[in-house]
Amino acid sequence: MNTRFFIAIIQLSNRGLAKNYSAYCPDLPGCVAYGATEEKALAALQSTLAQQIGRLGELGFEPPTPACTVKILQIGTQEKERNVPEFANLNSMYVH
């Protein structure tokens, strides 16, 4: 068995009062899993990925080669006073 490493994206998703996590792999579109915690979402995704890759092999297809890379971007922000004049004009546009 060959070991492959895939990037997993984890997102917090609030649906109503429930808080859960979704996890997906950009290298395998449509391969998504959910869990009550990050760990459970990742475990479910790992299982789903293994099943998908195994099924591709059964059908005679090569498993995908991981192609995504991760870059961490640092974005500086400036603190601004809330309700500054430039936003006040936008608010008045939508009040009827």
pLDDT tens per residue across all 96 residues of the chain: 678 889 999 999 877 777 899 999 999 988 999 999 999 999 999 999 999 999 999 999 988 888 888 888 888 877 666 655 655 555 555 554
Q: For position 4, what pLDDT does the model report?
A: 82
Question: Is 92 a domain residue?
Answer: no
Q: For position 80, what pLDDT does the model report?
A: 65
Q: Into how many domains does the chain fold? A: 1
CATH number at residue 48: 3.30.160.250
The span from the CA of 80 to the CA of 44, in Å, is 41
pTM, whole model, 2 decimals? 0.69
Question: Is 89 a domain residue?
Answer: no
Question: Is 63 a domain residue?
Answer: yes
